[in-house]
A and B are shown apart, each in its own frame.
Chain A
């Protein structure tokens, strides 16, 4: 009965590769987010989708492309991976109409070699 799930949990890849991270929530929420946690543990918003519509896009290189096929899923595709993309990526969801708390997935640790 996992609320917000992410796959994979760990991802090790070479520079220049393309990779995707998937996120699914079964909470019935209408809004989903991607956050990045860097090596110093700092968390920052990347994107947000509300009802499949992109509503937040925070100065993220266009190598990062989110896609929301439906309200329950938000995927993150990264092209031409760079060393600096190594981080933990968190998916989160909330019911924004009622200003609910954001609930986080377990995170995906990405290591670019």
Chain B
């Protein structure tokens, strides 16, 4: 079974600084997708970024980028120029390829932004 591990229960960063959240996963599949979701106090699950396993290029969305190391099964999220609105729980998630697959989530990392 696939597993996703986030080893940092909590992280904090100064506003305007850069922070990296870690995620590792375990799978024997070659076709899969990885995601980072953000859950602010409003509890809405918001997609931050998505990476297809077949793509070598790391995904980027504005201030958010990933470091996808396929051989090491590592998928970290880098947030640049941290803003107060980035404070939230961040979840790493894995999805197998193929139709109608579930998301497997990590335990989450609570990110605090210090003004």
Contacts and interface: CB of A to CB of B under 8 A. Distances in A.
A70 B104 CA distance: 26
A103 B68 CA distance: 22
Contacts of B107: 40-42
Interface residue tally of chain B, by bracket?
A: 20 to 34
Given A101-B47, A106-B44, A48 B91 contact: no
Interface stretch (B21-29, B73-81, B94-102): B94-102
Interface in B91-115: 91, 95, 97, 99-105, 107-108
Contacts, number: 56
Given A90-B45, A104-B45, A106-B44, A45 B89 contact: no
A47 B47 CA distance: 20
Indicate the member of A58, A102, A107 with the most B CB atoms within 10 Å: A102
A5 B32 CA distance: 27
Q: Is the interface of A mostly helix, strand, loop or mixed?
A: strand
Contacts of A104: 37, 44-46
B105 A44 contact: yes
A45 B103 contact: yes
Most buried by A among B97, B99, B102: B102
Interface of A: 31, 33, 35, 40-45, 48, 50, 55-56, 58, 88, 90, 92, 96-97, 99, 101-104, 106-107, 109
15 contacts: A33-B103, A40-B107, A42-B105, A45-B104, A48-B100, A56-B102, A58-B102, A88-B43, A96-B100, A97-B99, A101-B47, A101-B50, A107-B43, A107-B45, A109-B43
